[in-house]
Amino acid sequence: MINTAIAGVVLAVTGAFPALDGWVEQDWASGALLTVEDSAGVRADAAGEAAVGGHFRIGSVTKTFVATVVMQLVDEGRVGLDDPVDRYVTGVPNGRNGDRATVRQVLNHTSGLYDYAHEAGYSTNRWRGADRFRTYRPQELLDVAFAGTPYFDPGQGWHYSNTNYVVAGMLVERVTGRPYGDEVRSRILRPLGLTRTSVPGRWPALPHPHARGYAEVDGRLVDATLMNPTLDWAAGEMISTAEDLNRFFDALLSGRLTSAASLDAMRRTVDDTGTIFAYGLGLQRFDLPCGRSVWGHGGELIGYLTYATRADDGTRATLSYNPLPAEAPATAVMGVFTSIYC
């Protein structure tokens, strides 16, 4: 059933709306929620353990917030997009030919930097037992990454790497002299009134209400809701709601958070990624079967999967669900957004 009560306002629902009940019935998810905003108003649905307006871990959607702050620093003349990133963050290794990764290459994953999350015990998408409450420092993550072999010389390929956004977070801190989370709060969250979005740091819980996230361990489900997300830091630690993410992407993609030149740079994509998306500077472009494209970012952190999107006509939609071992097929996820945008 579609629940249309958002912030105390009940809105009329018109047109087709993807049903999420089947996701729970087929054991694809323990909970799922979807919020769509367009010229017709706000439509929202939740199934299973999820609740309309509930909080969830947004994983790599954090990267878009961080990229936006970096681009604001570019607009202020404090960062050069094509500067070597080691001008701001020391220790970033050179390529085999001495090439130095640029800020732009860090933001669009063409730096070649090895992903620390590929090392055993360093992925927040995997069950880590008691280690999920351990606190990590950003430099620890970079030490692991820089000890690994780069995927390629800077600018010579594309490889999604969480290391890039740990570097980006440290760049923000070195340039501003403040924690990157404080910059996200002062530059984005407070101006947009995103009161239900947070940078949790070492805090292991989520605000209420929230659905619980699960992981399969030795054939049984374990509760993975509580965790210290410092292992993801600026690459994926944030918490939000569907309504806040819709508002954020609407502000960003309508040009209210950066200059037009910076937004254009963010939307300039690497198309040959071998994935379902093209990648810009902290932005993913998803090309739908009907020929339309939407912009946004996906994110995964154990127990939580999120896709936040916006079309150029202003329609925006955020889907978040708590995956179960059966897993929702990619066709089902794509079907949700196709039904909304096509």
Distance (Å, whole) CA 81 – CA 102 = 7
Tell me which residue has tokens 């290794």: 93
> Can 60 be counted among the known catalytic residues?
yes
Q: What Cα–Cα distance (Å) separates residue 42 from each residue in 58, 201, 214, 313?
A: 21, 31, 29, 15
For residue 278 the two structure tokens come to: 């093209």
CA angle 117, 102, 184 (to 5 degrees): 65
Asked if residues 134 and 140 have their Cβ atoms less than 8 Å apart, the reply is no
Distance (Å, whole) CA 266 – CA 260 = 10
DSSP assignment, residue 189? Answer: I
Polymer length in residues for the chain: 342
Q: What Cα–Cα distance (Å) separates residue 242 from each residue in 100, 102, 316?
A: 38, 33, 10
Annotated active-site residue in 60, 111, 262, 320: 60
Distance (Å, whole) CA 279 – CA 296 = 10
**Positive or negative torsion for Cα 105, 110, 115, 117:** positive
CA proximity to 92, closest of 122, 113, 71: 113
Amino acid at 176: T
| First and final C-alpha spacing in the chain | 22
* Catalytic residue set: 60
